[in-house]
């Protein structure tokens, strides 16, 4: 089955980029990305939306091409998983597949969610990552911070895959922000991933090539 995890810039898909998104650190051992957005929702509303990824995750960034198949159990050991419906057969018999995107290792409702796993193309690599999502109440809403720390062996150039992964993370946070409604501070934001090229072929392989991979 062809992997549907694309890394088109959020602006190219018609979604506003988060207020801040960047690769903050790279080394031969891995990388760190950080993304931030503010939403016009209380921490309770934000938490309840966060743990229902099927409502805001991008369909193009799933194995089943339908984010409605994604679930998240917000407790230690819980799964951020996806059901992949079986294909129809002439004999009427099919088997559903499944994907574990990440596993919850810490959950403090309304404050913090931490998960471990390799997202997107990292799932096929020995490298893994820890995603920490922090909620902070601010005037008129909630500030959401995502930090994804990735380390270990991977068959990608670190600078290249770091930019690709950050673009995907930025899209997902933009989706959550748009789902809840962003705080309007009156300032015009520039897309956080605007400096990254958008290829006509939206496959992960083509996008990595466009970012300079020498594979």
pLDDT mean over 154-165: 94
Long-range pairs for 85-90 at CB < 8 Å and ≥24 separation?
none
pLDDT band at 211; cut points 50, 70, 90: very low
pLDDT reading at 135 higher than 50: yes
214 phi and psi, to 5 degrees? -110, 20
State the pLDDT at residue 138: 96
State the pLDDT at residue 21: 78
**Helix crossing, 158-180 with 43-50: angle to 10°?**
120
pLDDT mean over 103-127: 96
Across the chain, what does the average pLDDT equal? 82
State the pLDDT at residue 118: 95
Whether the Cβ atoms of residue 48 and residue 42 lie closer than 8 Å to each other: no
Structure tokens at 160: 């290249």
pLDDT band at 209; cut points 50, 70, 90: low
Strand order in the sheet with 20-27: 20-27, 30-39, 141-151, 128-138, 112-116, 97-108, 79-84, 70-72
Residue from 83, 147, 130, 78 nearest 109 by CA:
78
Using a pLDDT cut of 90, give the percent of the chain over it.
69
State the pLDDT at residue 125: 95
Q: In Å, what is the CA distance from 203 to each residue of 3, 6, 61, 183?
A: 8, 5, 10, 32
């Amino acid at each position: 089955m062809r992997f549907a995890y694309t890394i088109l810039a959020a602006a190219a898909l018609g979604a506003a980029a988060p207020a801040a998104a960047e690769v903050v650190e790279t080394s031969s051992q891995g990388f760190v990305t950080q993304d931030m957005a503010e939403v016009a929702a209380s921490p309770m509303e934000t938490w309840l939306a966060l743990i229902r990824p099927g409502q805001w995750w991008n369909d193009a960034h799933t194995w089943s091409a339908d984010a409605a198949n994604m679930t998240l159990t917000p407790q230690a050991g819980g799964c951020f998983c996806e059901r992949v419906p079986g294909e129809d057969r002439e004999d009427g018999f099919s088997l559903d597949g499944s994907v574990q995107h990440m596993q919850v290792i810490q959950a403090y409702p309304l404050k913090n969610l931490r998960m471990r796993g390799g997202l997107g193309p990292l799932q096929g690599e020995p490298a893994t990552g820890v995603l920490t999502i922090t909620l902070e109440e601010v005037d008129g809403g909630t500030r959401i911070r995502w930090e994804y720390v990735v380390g270990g062996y991977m068959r990608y150039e670190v600078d290249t895959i770091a930019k690709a992964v950050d673009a995907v993370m930025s899209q997902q946070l933009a989706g959550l922000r748009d789902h809840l409604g962003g705080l309007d501070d009156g300032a015009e934001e520039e897309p956080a991933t605007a400096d990254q090229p958008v290829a006509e072929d939206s496959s992960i392989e083509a996008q990595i090539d466009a970012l300079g991979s020498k594979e």
